[in-house]
Structure 1
Amino acid sequence: MKKFNIILLTSTLVHLSLFAQTHTKIIDMHIHSYTESEFEGKEPDQDYYGNKGSKDAESHRLETFAAFEKFNIVKAMVSGNPESVENWVTKDSNQRIIRGILMYTPDDYDMDSVKFEQMVKDNKIEVFGETAPYYGGTTLSDSIWQPYLQICEKYDIPVAVHMGGGDPGGTYSWSPKARLKLGDPYTIEDVLVKYPKLRIYMMHAGGEDWPEHALRLMAYYPQLYTDLAVMLWVEPNTQRYIKEFIKNAKEAGYLNRVMFGSDQMKFPYAIEKSINFLKSLDFLTDKEKEDIFYNNAAIFLKLKE
């Protein structure tokens, strides 16, 4: 009977542990949306492992929404063409979507600072990002981005900036001005100095190229956060880098500013892969994983329960 009770207790504890893991609230700080016309294009149709992505933009939305439901993703920062983001919002009955905007250059979508400020006032932009100056051959510190950053500071709009490199070969096709040096986190230092009240987070934690620069920047600027994003799933080398980054962030005491993001792009299954990889890191406590999955982002976003 004693042996049976021990087995029963062990089984119950395992069940409760799995239950807790399954139902952990998650905020995904890095989701992409697409219109049908732009779904085919610059991003590859299959991932590093040969898995194909969604067949079209609507399938992609449905599969991503299904992942939100399955993994208890209660909030998701969605960036893309404003048309695609609004399409997602209208179909988001659970009010999960945080409106972002994907911009490579300051005049994407015929944008200017006047139009941008009106969109902010109309609650059409809740996060300025993913901003990806890297792909357009600039950095966020360049003068052309300053009117947008001034508006973000004025209205307390968070900024999400792509850091690290991009897709291999992109410089020879859709992003000819992209250069690896433009993805160095140090390129945004002037922004951090000029706008000390700005809520800003790096995407990809500096990527494969600059994880130590990302950590040093976080050390100097305690308002700076980061997400983990594509590094969690895209291929073994990025997983190697991000594992070390998380270890070093923990040792340095910056883990409370690390946030989960999947960067699922055309591959909604990347959400599950990202979650599973993060959960597999045995050097993190359950509390630390919960903080990365939810608590840190909730604080950054100033969410009210």
Structure 2
Amino acid sequence: MHRLLAAGFALAVATPALAQEDSPPPPIIDVHVHSQLESRPGTAPLCPNPQQFLASDPADGEEGFFGWSGEDCSPRLYAAEPGEYLNDVVAEMERLNVTAVVFGDPDSVRAYQQAAPDRVIAGTSFAMSPDTDRAAELQRLEMLFTDGGFAVMGEIGLQYAGVSPSDPSVDDYFALAERLDIPVAIHMGTGGSGRANVTMPTYRASMGDPFLLEEMLARHPRLRVQVMHAGYPMIDNMLALLQANSHVYVDTAGLIWSYPIEEVNRYIERLVDAGFGDRVMFGTDQLSWPGLMAYSVSIIQNADYLSPAQKRDILYNNAARFLRLDRE
């Protein structure tokens, strides 16, 4: 816990808006949190917004899981102590006044709901193995979304399987979401942390092109879609898709801390300057390092190219509209 507290103190100093103790900070919605229950053993400290992705040579034998450069940084984010990850993340959600859309298998998502019953919106996705019984899977999902308390279909990681979201083989799932009026959250764009060729052999960068959503969107015109990672780095195609599809939103997750800060700010600024400031939602891709949530919030709060109203839209209002929390 001491590592998290030290990181949290540094972040609070860097972001005065988070340090107000006499009243709760304004509410935040994080639309992209994973239902991880523990930091993975041996998880190294994280220097967010690394400045470089390093090349590797297959002749060198063991290649690292991450391609980030290892420069020093402040703050350095530490993994949770054994047995403390879920408690630490929930404590951060309470401190920052965050409601989170938590994605994962139903049992682990329910563990988050039990730990923070008023701060978790439950999300889960469909199985993608070739031998999946599609009829049974559709029945299972319909039960979860109608009677099980789940509200978002995601994270849909078709890109990791090298499959387009418009592939007919998965269309029944999007049809179900449209019929039940459930939003879907689809991984598009960045992935693999600079080592997808080593660690994720079926991942295809080309399957993250936002334009691959077009046929699916045409077949399901009432479907609300959250493009995870904002389709980074394919900004031009992302902007074109947003202009043509008013039910599509993007999130900042992963992108916001895993690329150089100048690049992150340029990408978000392009989205806002192009007229889509009401469809950018805050997300972290929260995992392993409990301090990641506060750090990611600080990126938006300290963005000098965003007005206070635009910051509130990204941190709360847009997601409340997308998830229809503003109607409750």
TM-score (norm 2): 0.78
**Alignment deviations for residues 36-90 of structure 1 (CA, whole Å, 9 cap, x no partner):** 6xx649x96443556442344x5221111111111111x2100112211011112
* Matched letter for residue 28 of structure 1: D
Superposed counterparts of 1:21-170, under 5 Å: 23-35=25-37, 40=40, 45-48=44-47, 51-56=77-82, 58-73=83-98, 75-93=99-117, 95-101=118-124, 105=128, 112-167=137-192, 168-170=194-196
1:99-139 superposed Cα distances (whole Å, 9 cap, x missing partner): 11255726799771121112112234210011110111212
Aligned to 1:221: 245
**Root-mean-square deviation (Å):** 2.7
Q: Give the whole-Å Cα distance in 2 for the aligned partners of 1:142 and 1:17.
A: 43
The one of 259, 275, 284 aligned to 2:281: 259
Q: Which structure 1 residue ranges, 5 or more long, are not aligned?
A: 1-14
1:286 aligns to what? 308
Give the SS at the match of 2:258: coil
Contact kept in structure 1, 2:17 and 2:25, CA below 8 Å: no
1:180 aligns with 2:205: yes
Amino acid aligned to 1:250: V
Q: Is this contact kept in 2: 1:35–1:81, CA < 8 A?
A: no
Q: Which residue of 2 aligns with 1:3?
A: none
> Do the aligned partners of 1:104 and 1:135 also contact (CA within 8 Å) in 2?
no
Letter matched to residue 162 of structure 2:
G
Counterparts of 1:16 and 1:40, CA distance in 2:
31
**Identical columns (%):** 32
SS at match of 1:78: strand
Distance 1:165 1:262 in 2: 13
Report the alpha carbon displacement of residue 211 of structure 1 after superposing the two structures with TM: 2.1
Distance 1:21 1:145 in 2: 46
Larger relative contact order, structure 1 or 2 (CA cutoff 8 Å, min sep 6)? 2
2:90 and 2:115 in contact (8 A); partners too: no
CA apart distance, 1:247: 1.6
Question: Gaps spanning 5+ residues in structure 2: where?
Answer: 1-15, 49-69, 71-76
CA contact (8 A) 1:247 1:283 kept: yes
Which SS does the other structure have where 1:126 is aligned?
A: strand
**Richer in helix (by share):** 1
Range with bigger deviation, 83-92 or 283-292: 83-92
Residue 59 of structure 1 aligns to which amino acid in structure 2?
E
* TM score, norm. by length of structure 1: 0.83
8 A contact 2:85–2:290 mirrored in 1: yes
